[in-house]
Amino acid sequence: DAKTTQPTSMDCAEGRAANLPCNHSTISGNEYVYWYRQIHSQGPQYIIHGLKNNETNEMASLIITEDRKSSTLILPHATLRDTAVYYCIVRFGSYNTDKLIFGTGTRLQVFP
Amino acid sequence: DTGVSQNPRHKITKRGQNVTFRCDPISEHNRLYWYRQTLGQGPEFLTYFQNEAQLEKSRLLSDRFSAERPKGSFSTLEIQRTEQGDSAMYLCASSSGERGTYEQYFGPGTRLTVT
C-alpha cells in the first residue's frame, strides 16, 4: 500500500470548513483513498473513500486531484465534536478484504 | 446492530501475568481484525480472521500473543508473560466482507497497563 503524508495538527473555528490535506504521491491506479477518524478514547470511525472522482456523503467530501497524488477531506461546517485524529489511508480495492495501515494522522482541533 | 463490543475496557496487570481480552463483532460479520495502538501512534495491525480461520498475522504478534475465534463469532486475544512494552490500547474491528462494502467497524478498545 502507498505511503501517505499528513500534517501533524490543524485548527479550525467552529462553523467553518475544515480542509485536511493528504499526500499520496506513490499511489497506484487501483488504490483507493480512505479516511477514518478517531475521537479521543474511541475506536476509529470510517468517514469516506474514493478512487478518482470526488465523493460526498453526510459526513464529509473527498476531493482527489486529477493526478491522484493528493487529496483533501472537507468537513463543511466543523463542530466541536469533529475534534479528532484524522487518518488518510491508501489501499487496494473498494471493499475491505484487507488490513488498514494507519499513519500518525492529523490532529484536528475545532475551537469555539 | 449493537456494534463491536470489547471486554474488559481497562486492564491493569503486573509484569509476567497473562491477560485475555474478548471481542464480540457485529452479528454476521465474517471478518474480524485485531489492532494495537500506543500513545501518539495510529493503530497497528496484529491479526485477522475470516470466520474461524486466522488468515494473517503481523510480525508484531510475538509468540507470547495468541488469538482465537473458535466458532467464527467472538474472538479472544491472549498475552502471556506480559511485559511493560505490551501496554497499549487493543482494538478489535469487524467487517461483513461482502463485495461492495468498505467499512471496518471498530470497538472501543481495551486499554492494557502493565506495571
The pLDDT value recorded for residue B71 is 87
What residue ranges of chain A have pLDDT lower than 70? Answer: 1-2, 93-97
* pLDDT of B112 above 90: yes
Hey, which residues 9-68 in chain A have their CB within 8 Å of chain B?
34, 41-46, 49
Residues of A in contact with B108 (CB under 8 A): 41-43
Cβ neighbours for A76, distance < 8 A, ≥ 6 positions apart? A17, A60, A61
Q: How confident is the model at residue B85 (pLDDT cuts 50, 70, 90)?
A: very high
Q: What does residue A87 show for φ and ψ, rounded to 5 degrees?
A: -110, 130
Smallest Cβ distance to A95: which of B40, B100, B109? B100
% of residues, chain B, pLDDT over 70: 94
pLDDT reported for residue A11: 97
**Nearest of B61, B67, B74, B77 to residue B110 by alpha carbon:** B77
What grid cell was written down for B73? 463469532
Q: How far apart are alpha carbons B6 and B74 in whole angstroms?
A: 10
- Within 10 angstroms of residue B16's Cβ, the number of other Cβ atoms is 10
Can you give the pLDDT at residue A73? Answer: 98
pLDDT score recorded for residue B101: 63
